[in-house]
Amino acid sequence: MNDMRLTERAVETKDIKIAAHDVQVYYGASHAIKDVHIDILDKTVTAFIGPSGCGKSTFLRCLNRMNDTIDICRVEGEILLDGEDIYDKKVDPVQLRARVGMVFQKPNPFPKSIYDNVAYGPKIHGLVKNKAELDEVVEGSLRKAALWNEVKDRLDAPGTGLSGGQQQRLCIARAVATSPEVLLMDEPCSALDPIATAQVEELIDELRENFSVVIVTHSMQQAARVSQRTAFFHLGNLVEYGETGQIFTNPKDPRTESYITGRIG
Ligand SMILES: Nc1ncnc2c1ncn2[C@@H]1O[C@H](COP(=O)(O)OP(=O)(O)OP(=O)(O)O)[C@@H](O)[C@H]1O
């Protein structure tokens, strides 16, 4: 398999950004996530891999309480962001999602201008005092998302008029505009062509200088290229979690080995 890494930078931090203990998720009577314990590091890209239906997206959505929006879904256990329980009653999920941003599989820009797509979050969260500050945040976010040069002359054009890859980078700009600490990405490249995928992968590598990034991916090549840590899920269990190189070259669990060698999936 192609294990060309984007960079050779090792994990530079041991700081834990998100600590999950004994997490269970149920959809009605169905037990989708079982006893998951994981420490997700700051300034690190963590990949969630595993066969379809193993619970990667379900667990990802626990990390910013996106599952709250699904009526039949129940989450148990403890998830700490910088040591604070995100499921505590005093936590406002809307504020939480500004700190723990999300990018979805399918680019989903708002039916608004490019500028307004990015400006929306900082405006509703009161992060800017005036138009000049807002302009700065919009430009900075589009630069971080490697989109500024392509759109700076048409900020008033609709976001939905961009190409698929540009729309996904617009969604990344929208997510980073609220200065999140964690960015969750659920198969962010699955709707993109190889060139746009390569651009988004480059971007993910750059983003980890400032954020903790967690990415769900079906592509083991992508996990190997962009992540420093990999978590392998199977049938709702977190089977193995460690340095990406170790998971792909020297897995400890036979289920991980079967998956990465293509025997299950
Ligand atoms: N909204 C929902 N209602 C009921 N069951 C659900 C819901 N979402 C997911 N599930 C179930 O939970 C389990 C885990 O699904 P999930 O989507 O988290 O897996 P996944 O590993 O992300 O899969 P894929 O790689 O196919 O996206 C599956 O059995 C799925 O059918």
Token pair of 71, please? 């009526």
Q: Over the chain, what is the mean pLDDT? A: 92
Name the residue at shortest CA distance from atom 31 of ligand 1. 53
Q: What pLDDT does residue 5 have?
A: 57
Distance CA 20, CA 202 (A): 28
Answer yes or no: is pLDDT of 9 > 80. no
- Classify residue 120: in a domain, yes or no: yes
**What ipTM is given for this predicted complex?**
0.97
Mean pLDDT value across residues 233-259: 96
Answer yes or no: is pLDDT of 146 > 80. yes
List all residues 6 or more positions away from 54 whose beta carbon is below 8 Å from its beta carbon: 233, 234, 235, 236
Count of domains forming the chain? 1
- Classify residue 114: in a domain, yes or no: yes
**Which H, E and C letters describe the chain, residue by residue?**
CCCCCCCCCCCCCCCEEEEEEEEEEEECCEEEEEEEEEEEECCCEEEEECCCCCCHHHHHHHCCCHHHHCCCEEEEEEEEECCEECCCCCCCHHHHHHHEEEECCCCCCCCCEHHHHHHHHHHHCCCCCCHHHHHHHHHHHHHHCCCHHHHCCCCCCEHHHCCHHHHHHHHHHHHHCCCCCEEEEECCCCCCCHHHHHHHHHHHHHHCCCCEEEEECCCHHHHHHHCCEEEEEECCEEEEEEEHHHHHHCCCCHHHHHHHCCCCC
Q: Probe ligand 1: pick from 36, 54, 220, max atoms within 8 Å of CB?
A: 54
List all residues 6 or more positions away from 89 whose beta carbon is below 8 Å from its beta carbon: none
Give the global pTM: 0.91
Q: What pLDDT does residue 1 have?
A: 41
- Classify residue 8: in a domain, yes or no: no
pLDDT digits (tens, 9 = 90+) for 17-49: 999 999 999 999 999 999 999 999 999 999 999
pLDDT digits (tens, 9 = 90+) for 79-138: 999 999 999 999 999 999 989 999 998 899 999 999 999 999 999 989 999 999 999 999
In angstroms, how far is CA 39 from the centroid of its own chain? Answer: 15
How many percent of the chain have pLDDT more than 90? Answer: 81
Q: Probe ligand 1: pick from 23, 25, 26, 27, max atoms within 8 Å of CB?
A: 27
Answer yes or no: is pLDDT of 255 > 60. yes
Measured in Å, residue 52 CA sits from the centre of ligand 1 at: 8
In angstroms, how far is CA 183 from the centroid of its own chain? Answer: 4
Q: What is the CATH number of the domain that holds 218?
A: 3.40.50.300
Q: Which residues line ligand 1 (CB under 6 A)?
A: 27, 32, 50, 52-58, 70, 72
Domain that holds residue 166: 16-260
- Classify residue 233: in a domain, yes or no: yes
- Classify residue 22: in a domain, yes or no: yes
Measured in Å, residue 8 CA sits from the centre of ligand 1 at: 34
- Classify residue 9: in a domain, yes or no: no
Q: What pLDDT does residue 3 have?
A: 45
Name the residue at shortest CA distance from atom 30 of ligand 1. 53
265 confidence band (pLDDT: 50, 70, 90): low
- Classify residue 42: in a domain, yes or no: yes
- Classify residue 132: in a domain, yes or no: yes
Measured in Å, residue 33 CA sits from the centre of ligand 1 at: 10
